Amino acid sequence: MPEFVDLSREIFHRTQTHPSHPPVVMTVWGDHDEKKYAGNTVFTSKAVYLSMSDHAGTHVDAPVHFDPRPGALSVEQMPLENFYTSAFCIDLSHVPLKTAATLEEVQAAVAASGQTIQKGDTVLIWMATNERLLGKPGYLHDFPGLSLPAIHWLAEQGIGMFGVEAISPAPEGEPNFLAHMACGELGITHMECLANLHSLIGRGRFTFIGFPLKIRGGSASPIRAVAMFA
């Protein structure tokens, strides 16, 4: 049987989200203490109400989020094969908070993983963001990320997308906006708010699975991201 490693964060009331997006609102819509009647049958049911951005929780950005050109794909238009790929994870946990990993650091981390990037790969990037910041105010502002040269190099190697634990792929402010714009220019995308990446370090290749919801015109979508080891 394959082994599955859950790479997704829970979605709950007031899940940590990027400050520019609306909050996650979650409440009970109906519960088992409310009896319902259908003819002679008495039954109960439970349902939960959710209101959230398409960028809430563990999610993937669609090209239309950061690419203003006509024809940029929304999330339901992205090929499903983009979300079922070969993948590996690199260790950049030493990068200081609020800092962008350099091209040389990313290249060294890929080399240390023992892997060579193949066309269409998903590259996950452990920066110990959750270990250092999740649950603290700094999670929304103090995260590390990738430098522009590093993003360009990953794209040049042929990746389809990369993923980080933070709410953005690069440190807060201008670096983040430039990173998003670069993804549009380079024809790649990225995932944010991943979890458990530390458990992938040193384990080589795995199959990444993280299908988005079919949101019409969506600029992103929550995903249930998992690593599958055969």
The pLDDT assigned to 47 comes to 96
Domains and CATH numbers, the chain: 59-229 (3.50.30.50)
As given in the structure block, the two tokens for residue 114 are 């023992």
Residue 81 or 35, more confident:
81
- What's the average model confidence in pLDDT over 69-90? 97
pLDDT of residue 78: 98
**Over the stretch 160-217, which tens digit does the pLDDT of each residue have?**
999 999 999 999 999 999 999 999 999 999 999 999 999 999 999 999 999 999 999 9
Give phi and psi for 153, each to the nearest 5: -65, -45
Q: What are phi and psi of 60, to 5 degrees?
A: -115, 140
pLDDT at 184: 95
Report yes or no: 26 and 49 within 8 Å, Cβ to Cβ.
Answer: yes
Q: What is the mean pLDDT of the chain?
A: 97
pLDDT tier, 121 (very low <50, low <70, confident <90, very high otherwise): very high
Give the per-residue pLDDT at 188.
97
